[in-house]
Amino acid sequence: MNKVVLPISMEGKTVLVAGAAGFVPSTLCEFYLNLGAHVIGIDNFITGSRSNIDLLSSYKNFEFHQHNIYERLPNFKDQKIDYILSMASPASPIDFAIIPVEIMRVNSEGTLKLLELAKEKNARFLEASTSEVYGDPEIHPQKEDYVGHVNCIGPRSCYDESKRFAEALTMSFHHKYNVDTRIVRIFNTYGPRMRPNDGRVIPNFITQAMKGEDLTVYGDGSQTRSFCFSTDLVQAIHTVLMSNDPTPFNCGNPDEYTVKQTAELIIKILGSTSKIVYLPLPKDDPKRRRPDLGKLQRVSDYAPQVGFEEGIRQTAEYFKSSL
Ligand SMILES: NC(=O)c1ccc[n+]([C@@H]2O[C@H](COP(=O)([O-])OP(=O)(O)OC[C@H]3O[C@@H](n4cnc5c(N)ncnc54)[C@H](O)[C@@H]3O)[C@@H](O)[C@H]2O)c1
Protein backbone atom coordinates (compact mmCIF):
# COMPACT_ATOMS: atom_id res chain seq x y z
CA MET A 1 0.00 0.00 0.00
CA ASN A 2 1.30 3.47 -0.92
CA LYS A 3 2.11 5.71 2.03
CA VAL A 4 0.56 9.17 2.30
CA VAL A 5 2.92 11.85 0.99
CA LEU A 6 2.89 14.93 3.20
CA PRO A 7 3.56 18.25 1.41
CA ILE A 8 6.43 20.27 2.85
CA SER A 9 4.66 23.52 1.97
CA MET A 10 1.02 24.58 1.58
CA GLU A 11 1.86 27.89 -0.10
CA GLY A 12 -0.80 28.87 -2.61
CA LYS A 13 -3.44 26.73 -0.85
CA THR A 14 -6.43 28.09 1.05
CA VAL A 15 -7.64 26.21 4.11
CA LEU A 16 -10.95 27.10 5.76
CA VAL A 17 -11.20 26.07 9.42
CA ALA A 18 -14.66 26.19 11.02
CA GLY A 19 -14.27 26.59 14.80
CA ALA A 20 -10.92 28.40 14.49
CA ALA A 21 -11.08 29.93 17.99
CA GLY A 22 -11.23 26.49 19.62
CA PHE A 23 -8.51 24.39 21.17
CA VAL A 24 -7.78 21.81 18.42
CA PRO A 25 -8.88 23.98 15.47
CA SER A 26 -6.67 26.93 16.47
CA THR A 27 -3.70 24.55 16.80
CA LEU A 28 -4.49 23.27 13.29
CA CYS A 29 -4.80 26.83 11.94
CA GLU A 30 -1.33 27.66 13.25
CA PHE A 31 0.07 24.47 11.72
CA TYR A 32 -1.28 25.40 8.26
CA LEU A 33 -0.22 29.04 8.65
CA ASN A 34 3.31 27.84 9.36
CA LEU A 35 3.16 25.68 6.21
CA GLY A 36 2.41 28.87 4.25
CA ALA A 37 -1.30 28.34 3.54
CA HIS A 38 -3.83 31.15 3.51
CA VAL A 39 -6.11 30.21 6.44
CA ILE A 40 -9.71 31.41 6.79
CA GLY A 41 -11.07 30.96 10.32
CA ILE A 42 -14.75 31.08 11.27
CA ASP A 43 -16.11 31.00 14.81
CA ASN A 44 -18.98 32.34 16.92
CA PHE A 45 -17.03 32.01 20.23
CA ILE A 46 -19.63 29.76 21.86
CA THR A 47 -16.76 27.79 23.43
CA GLY A 48 -13.74 29.31 21.67
CA SER A 49 -11.38 32.01 22.93
CA ARG A 50 -10.69 35.42 21.46
CA SER A 51 -7.08 35.03 22.62
CA ASN A 52 -6.64 32.16 20.14
CA ILE A 53 -7.82 34.42 17.32
CA ASP A 54 -5.57 37.25 18.55
CA LEU A 55 -2.63 34.89 18.33
CA LEU A 56 -3.55 33.68 14.83
CA SER A 57 -4.12 37.26 13.69
CA SER A 58 -0.41 37.95 14.08
CA TYR A 59 0.04 35.89 10.88
CA LYS A 60 -0.51 37.98 7.76
CA ASN A 61 -1.94 34.94 5.93
CA PHE A 62 -4.83 34.56 8.44
CA GLU A 63 -8.34 35.87 7.85
CA PHE A 64 -11.17 35.67 10.41
CA HIS A 65 -14.97 35.83 10.19
CA GLN A 66 -17.23 35.83 13.24
CA HIS A 67 -20.25 33.74 12.24
CA ASN A 68 -22.55 31.06 13.52
CA ILE A 69 -21.96 28.48 10.81
CA TYR A 70 -25.40 26.90 11.05
CA GLU A 71 -27.07 30.26 10.44
CA ARG A 72 -25.02 31.45 7.48
CA LEU A 73 -21.52 31.32 6.12
CA PRO A 74 -19.60 34.38 4.97
CA ASN A 75 -19.81 35.14 1.26
CA PHE A 76 -16.83 33.46 -0.41
CA LYS A 77 -18.11 34.25 -3.91
CA ASP A 78 -14.88 34.77 -5.81
CA GLN A 79 -12.53 33.10 -3.35
CA LYS A 80 -10.76 29.85 -4.14
CA ILE A 81 -10.90 27.34 -1.25
CA ASP A 82 -8.88 24.11 -1.40
CA TYR A 83 -9.64 22.51 1.97
CA ILE A 84 -12.57 22.84 4.37
CA LEU A 85 -12.06 21.51 7.90
CA SER A 86 -15.32 21.02 9.77
CA MET A 87 -14.11 21.42 13.35
CA ALA A 88 -16.80 23.67 14.88
CA SER A 89 -18.50 21.84 17.72
CA PRO A 90 -18.45 22.14 21.48
CA ALA A 91 -16.86 18.93 22.75
CA SER A 92 -16.96 18.96 26.55
CA PRO A 93 -19.48 16.92 28.57
CA ILE A 94 -20.27 20.13 30.51
CA ASP A 95 -21.54 21.63 27.23
CA PHE A 96 -23.73 18.60 26.51
CA ALA A 97 -26.04 19.57 29.38
CA ILE A 98 -26.06 23.33 28.74
CA ILE A 99 -26.13 23.76 24.94
CA PRO A 100 -27.38 20.44 23.52
CA VAL A 101 -29.49 22.00 20.76
CA GLU A 102 -26.63 24.23 19.58
CA ILE A 103 -24.43 21.12 19.44
CA MET A 104 -26.96 19.19 17.38
CA ARG A 105 -27.46 22.14 15.05
CA VAL A 106 -23.79 22.82 14.40
CA ASN A 107 -23.03 19.16 13.64
CA SER A 108 -26.07 18.80 11.35
CA GLU A 109 -27.03 22.15 9.80
CA GLY A 110 -23.50 23.57 10.17
CA THR A 111 -21.88 20.51 8.59
CA LEU A 112 -24.46 20.65 5.78
CA LYS A 113 -23.53 24.28 5.00
CA LEU A 114 -19.82 23.41 4.93
CA LEU A 115 -20.42 20.39 2.69
CA GLU A 116 -22.45 22.54 0.29
CA LEU A 117 -19.57 25.01 0.21
CA ALA A 118 -17.10 22.17 -0.45
CA LYS A 119 -19.30 21.00 -3.35
CA GLU A 120 -19.52 24.53 -4.77
CA LYS A 121 -15.77 25.19 -4.45
CA ASN A 122 -14.65 21.68 -5.40
CA ALA A 123 -12.73 21.66 -2.11
CA ARG A 124 -11.57 18.67 -0.09
CA PHE A 125 -13.71 18.40 3.06
CA LEU A 126 -12.69 16.92 6.42
CA GLU A 127 -15.17 16.14 9.18
CA ALA A 128 -13.84 16.16 12.77
CA SER A 129 -15.76 13.26 14.22
CA THR A 130 -15.07 11.62 17.53
CA SER A 131 -14.46 8.39 19.39
CA GLU A 132 -17.87 9.15 20.97
CA VAL A 133 -19.45 7.61 17.86
CA TYR A 134 -18.44 4.28 19.48
CA GLY A 135 -20.48 5.18 22.60
CA ASP A 136 -19.72 2.93 25.57
CA PRO A 137 -17.83 0.41 23.43
CA GLU A 138 -18.34 -3.35 23.67
CA ILE A 139 -15.08 -4.10 21.87
CA HIS A 140 -11.60 -3.02 22.84
CA PRO A 141 -9.55 -1.34 21.44
CA GLN A 142 -11.92 0.35 19.01
CA LYS A 143 -11.38 -0.20 15.29
CA GLU A 144 -13.03 1.88 12.60
CA ASP A 145 -15.31 -0.96 11.50
CA TYR A 146 -16.96 -1.15 14.95
CA VAL A 147 -20.41 0.43 14.54
CA GLY A 148 -20.71 1.55 18.15
CA HIS A 149 -22.95 1.32 21.19
CA VAL A 150 -24.60 4.71 21.63
CA ASN A 151 -27.61 5.59 23.76
CA CYS A 152 -29.59 7.87 21.44
CA ILE A 153 -31.54 9.52 24.28
CA GLY A 154 -28.85 9.66 26.98
CA PRO A 155 -27.08 12.74 28.39
CA ARG A 156 -24.30 12.50 25.77
CA SER A 157 -26.61 11.81 22.84
CA CYS A 158 -26.70 15.39 21.49
CA TYR A 159 -22.99 15.07 20.77
CA ASP A 160 -22.65 11.37 19.91
CA GLU A 161 -25.65 11.19 17.62
CA SER A 162 -25.05 14.51 15.87
CA LYS A 163 -21.47 13.42 15.11
CA ARG A 164 -22.81 10.12 13.76
CA PHE A 165 -25.20 12.18 11.61
CA ALA A 166 -22.29 14.39 10.46
CA GLU A 167 -20.36 11.29 9.36
CA ALA A 168 -23.42 9.96 7.49
CA LEU A 169 -23.97 13.34 5.83
CA THR A 170 -20.31 13.51 4.80
CA MET A 171 -20.49 10.04 3.21
CA SER A 172 -23.77 11.00 1.51
CA PHE A 173 -22.14 14.04 -0.14
CA HIS A 174 -19.26 11.81 -1.15
CA HIS A 175 -21.50 9.16 -2.75
CA LYS A 176 -24.15 11.44 -4.24
CA TYR A 177 -22.06 14.44 -5.37
CA ASN A 178 -18.57 12.95 -5.46
CA VAL A 179 -17.30 15.51 -2.94
CA ASP A 180 -13.75 14.66 -1.91
CA THR A 181 -14.27 13.91 1.79
CA ARG A 182 -12.29 12.65 4.78
CA ILE A 183 -13.41 11.72 8.31
CA VAL A 184 -11.25 11.66 11.45
CA ARG A 185 -12.49 10.06 14.67
CA ILE A 186 -10.62 11.98 17.33
CA PHE A 187 -9.92 10.35 20.72
CA ASN A 188 -9.35 12.38 23.94
CA THR A 189 -6.92 15.18 23.18
CA TYR A 190 -5.37 17.74 25.51
CA GLY A 191 -2.79 20.50 25.41
CA PRO A 192 -2.20 24.25 25.55
CA ARG A 193 -5.17 26.43 24.42
CA MET A 194 -7.72 24.23 26.14
CA ARG A 195 -9.97 26.21 28.45
CA PRO A 196 -8.80 25.50 32.03
CA ASN A 197 -12.48 25.31 33.06
CA ASP A 198 -13.47 23.26 30.03
CA GLY A 199 -14.72 20.37 32.19
CA ARG A 200 -12.79 17.57 30.49
CA VAL A 201 -10.68 15.28 32.63
CA ILE A 202 -7.17 16.61 31.95
CA PRO A 203 -7.90 20.35 32.43
CA ASN A 204 -9.97 19.45 35.52
CA PHE A 205 -7.16 17.46 37.11
CA ILE A 206 -4.40 19.94 36.19
CA THR A 207 -6.26 22.98 37.52
CA GLN A 208 -7.27 21.13 40.69
CA ALA A 209 -3.69 19.93 41.23
CA MET A 210 -2.28 23.41 40.60
CA LYS A 211 -4.65 24.96 43.15
CA GLY A 212 -4.01 22.19 45.70
CA GLU A 213 -7.69 21.16 45.55
CA ASP A 214 -8.99 17.58 45.65
CA LEU A 215 -8.97 15.85 42.25
CA THR A 216 -12.51 14.66 41.48
CA VAL A 217 -12.62 11.16 40.04
CA TYR A 218 -16.02 9.89 38.89
CA GLY A 219 -16.85 6.31 39.82
CA ASP A 220 -13.98 4.18 41.16
CA GLY A 221 -11.60 5.57 38.54
CA SER A 222 -11.14 2.20 36.79
CA GLN A 223 -12.57 3.51 33.49
CA THR A 224 -9.81 4.08 30.94
CA ARG A 225 -8.91 6.83 28.50
CA SER A 226 -6.11 7.29 25.98
CA PHE A 227 -4.84 10.85 25.84
CA CYS A 228 -3.26 12.44 22.78
CA PHE A 229 -1.25 15.65 22.88
CA SER A 230 -2.62 18.30 20.51
CA THR A 231 0.40 18.61 18.19
CA ASP A 232 0.37 14.82 17.68
CA LEU A 233 -3.33 14.99 16.85
CA VAL A 234 -2.69 17.76 14.31
CA GLN A 235 -0.11 15.55 12.61
CA ALA A 236 -2.64 12.68 12.44
CA ILE A 237 -5.39 14.94 11.03
CA HIS A 238 -3.01 16.36 8.42
CA THR A 239 -2.04 12.82 7.39
CA VAL A 240 -5.69 11.81 6.91
CA LEU A 241 -6.41 15.03 5.00
CA MET A 242 -3.58 14.21 2.60
CA SER A 243 -4.64 10.56 2.22
CA ASN A 244 -6.97 9.39 -0.52
CA ASP A 245 -9.37 7.39 1.67
CA PRO A 246 -12.86 8.82 2.39
CA THR A 247 -13.66 6.28 5.11
CA PRO A 248 -13.10 7.15 8.82
CA PHE A 249 -9.69 7.04 10.50
CA ASN A 250 -9.12 6.84 14.25
CA CYS A 251 -6.74 9.58 15.41
CA GLY A 252 -5.15 9.68 18.85
CA ASN A 253 -2.60 8.05 21.08
CA PRO A 254 -3.06 4.39 22.09
CA ASP A 255 -1.38 4.69 25.54
CA GLU A 256 -4.20 3.80 27.92
CA TYR A 257 -4.57 4.92 31.55
CA THR A 258 -7.29 4.43 34.12
CA VAL A 259 -8.77 7.72 35.27
CA LYS A 260 -7.41 7.01 38.78
CA GLN A 261 -3.90 6.47 37.36
CA THR A 262 -4.27 9.71 35.39
CA ALA A 263 -5.10 11.63 38.57
CA GLU A 264 -2.18 10.04 40.46
CA LEU A 265 0.25 10.79 37.63
CA ILE A 266 -0.83 14.43 37.35
CA ILE A 267 -0.40 14.92 41.12
CA LYS A 268 3.09 13.41 40.85
CA ILE A 269 4.18 15.28 37.70
CA LEU A 270 3.06 18.63 39.11
CA GLY A 271 4.41 17.91 42.61
CA SER A 272 0.99 18.73 44.06
CA THR A 273 -0.27 18.04 47.58
CA SER A 274 -3.82 17.37 46.34
CA LYS A 275 -5.77 14.25 47.29
CA ILE A 276 -8.23 12.25 45.18
CA VAL A 277 -11.97 12.21 45.97
CA TYR A 278 -14.55 9.96 44.36
CA LEU A 279 -17.97 11.10 43.07
CA PRO A 280 -20.76 9.05 41.42
CA LEU A 281 -20.15 8.00 37.82
CA PRO A 282 -22.31 9.97 35.31
CA LYS A 283 -24.74 7.96 33.17
CA ASP A 284 -23.33 6.52 29.92
CA ASP A 285 -19.71 7.35 30.83
CA PRO A 286 -17.63 5.11 28.52
CA LYS A 287 -15.76 2.39 30.48
CA ARG A 288 -12.86 1.87 28.11
CA ARG A 289 -11.35 3.99 25.37
CA ARG A 290 -8.33 3.20 23.25
CA PRO A 291 -7.92 3.79 19.54
CA ASP A 292 -6.72 1.03 17.28
CA LEU A 293 -4.42 3.07 15.03
CA GLY A 294 -3.66 0.19 12.64
CA LYS A 295 -5.51 1.77 9.73
CA LEU A 296 -3.70 5.13 10.01
CA GLN A 297 -0.36 3.40 10.52
CA ARG A 298 -0.84 1.22 7.43
CA VAL A 299 -0.97 4.35 5.25
CA SER A 300 1.61 6.46 7.10
CA ASP A 301 4.47 6.49 9.59
CA TYR A 302 2.28 8.31 12.13
CA ALA A 303 3.33 7.75 15.73
CA PRO A 304 2.61 10.08 18.67
CA GLN A 305 5.74 11.98 19.72
CA VAL A 306 4.77 13.70 22.98
CA GLY A 307 4.71 11.51 26.10
CA PHE A 308 2.19 12.00 28.91
CA GLU A 309 4.58 13.66 31.35
CA GLU A 310 5.87 16.15 28.78
CA GLY A 311 2.32 16.89 27.56
CA ILE A 312 1.04 17.52 31.09
CA ARG A 313 3.95 19.87 31.84
CA GLN A 314 3.33 21.90 28.67
CA THR A 315 -0.41 22.11 29.37
CA ALA A 316 0.18 23.15 32.99
CA GLU A 317 2.61 25.88 31.82
CA TYR A 318 -0.11 27.23 29.55
CA PHE A 319 -2.73 27.13 32.33
CA LYS A 320 -0.35 28.98 34.65
CA SER A 321 -0.36 31.94 32.29
CA SER A 322 -4.13 31.86 31.76
CA LEU A 323 -5.49 31.12 35.25
N1 LIG B 1 -10.51 17.78 22.00
C2 LIG B 1 -10.90 16.53 21.93
O3 LIG B 1 -10.53 15.69 22.76
C4 LIG B 1 -11.83 16.09 20.83
C5 LIG B 1 -12.18 14.75 20.76
C6 LIG B 1 -13.04 14.33 19.76
C7 LIG B 1 -13.49 15.22 18.80
N8 LIG B 1 -13.13 16.52 18.87
C9 LIG B 1 -13.69 17.43 17.86
O10 LIG B 1 -12.71 18.38 17.45
C11 LIG B 1 -13.34 19.65 17.21
C12 LIG B 1 -12.67 20.70 18.10
O13 LIG B 1 -12.80 20.32 19.48
P14 LIG B 1 -12.12 21.16 20.64
O15 LIG B 1 -11.86 20.21 21.73
O16 LIG B 1 -11.02 21.96 20.11
O17 LIG B 1 -13.36 22.06 21.08
P18 LIG B 1 -13.47 23.65 21.25
O19 LIG B 1 -14.79 23.87 21.92
O20 LIG B 1 -12.27 24.22 21.87
O21 LIG B 1 -13.55 24.16 19.73
C22 LIG B 1 -14.73 24.20 18.98
C23 LIG B 1 -14.88 25.59 18.35
O24 LIG B 1 -16.07 25.61 17.54
C25 LIG B 1 -16.73 26.85 17.74
N26 LIG B 1 -18.14 26.69 17.39
C27 LIG B 1 -19.05 25.87 17.98
N28 LIG B 1 -20.26 26.03 17.41
C29 LIG B 1 -20.10 26.96 16.43
C30 LIG B 1 -20.99 27.54 15.48
N31 LIG B 1 -22.30 27.22 15.43
N32 LIG B 1 -20.50 28.45 14.59
C33 LIG B 1 -19.18 28.79 14.64
N34 LIG B 1 -18.30 28.28 15.51
C35 LIG B 1 -18.75 27.38 16.40
C36 LIG B 1 -16.49 27.15 19.21
O37 LIG B 1 -16.70 28.50 19.55
C38 LIG B 1 -15.04 26.70 19.39
O39 LIG B 1 -14.14 27.74 19.13
C40 LIG B 1 -14.82 19.47 17.53
O41 LIG B 1 -15.51 19.19 16.33
C42 LIG B 1 -14.84 18.25 18.43
O43 LIG B 1 -16.06 17.56 18.36
C44 LIG B 1 -12.32 16.99 19.87
Catalytic residue among 159, 177, 257, 278: 159
Q: Is 189 in the pocket of ligand 1 (CB under 6 A)?
A: yes
What is the reported pLDDT for 190?
Answer: 98
- CATH tag, 14-190+227-254+289-305: 3.40.50.720
Cis status of the peptide bond prior to 192, with omega within 30 of 0:
no
Cα dihedral 239, 240, 242, 245 in deg (nearest 10):
140
Q: How far apart are CA 322 and CA 43, in angstroms?
A: 21
Which of 55, 129, 186, 201 maximizes ligand 1 atoms within 8 Å of its Cβ, making it the mutation to test the pocket? 186
CA atoms lying within 13 Å on the CB side of residue 322:
20
What is the reported pLDDT for 229?
Answer: 98
Quote the ligand 1 centre to 89 CA distance (angstroms): 4
The 3-state DSSP class for residue 2 equals: coil
Q: Is 70 in the pocket of ligand 1 (CB under 6 A)?
A: yes
SS3 per-residue string spanning 89-136: CCCCHHHHHHCHHHHHHHHHHHHHHHHHHHHHHCCEEEEEEEHHHHEC
Q: How far apart are CA 251 and CA 23, in angstroms?
A: 16
Whether 134 is catalytic is no
Pair type for strands 224-226 and 256-258:
antiparallel
What is the reported pLDDT for 90?
Answer: 97
Quote the ligand 1 centre to 103 CA distance (angstroms): 10
CA 295 vs CA 51, 185, 238, 250: distances in Å: 36, 12, 15, 8
| 71, 78 Cβ separation under 8 angstroms | no
What is the reported pLDDT for 194?
Answer: 95
The 3-state DSSP class for residue 285 equals: coil
What is the reported pLDDT for 34?
Answer: 98
Q: Is 235 in the pocket of ligand 1 (CB under 6 A)?
A: no
Widest CA span of the chain, in angstroms?
58
Q: What is the pLDDT of residues 28-59, one digit of tens each?
A: 999 999 999 999 999 999 999 999 999 999 99
- Each residue's pLDDT tens digit in the chain (323 positions)? 789 999 999 999 999 999 999 999 999 999 999 999 999 999 999 999 999 999 999 999 999 999 999 999 999 999 999 999 999 999 999 999 999 999 999 999 999 999 999 999 999 999 999 999 999 999 999 999 999 999 999 999 999 999 999 999 999 999 999 999 999 999 999 999 999 998 899 999 999 999 999 999 999 999 999 999 999 999 999 999 999 999 999 999 999 999 999 999 999 999 999 999 999 999 888 899 999 999 999 999 999 999 999 999 999 999 998 76
What is the reported pLDDT for 323?
Answer: 64
The pTM of the full predicted model, rounded to 2 decimals, is 0.97
Report the nearest-CA residue for atom 1 of ligand 1. Answer: 189
Q: Is 197 in the pocket of ligand 1 (CB under 6 A)?
A: no
Report the nearest-CA residue for atom 21 of ligand 1. Answer: 22
Quote the ligand 1 centre to 184 CA distance (angstroms): 13
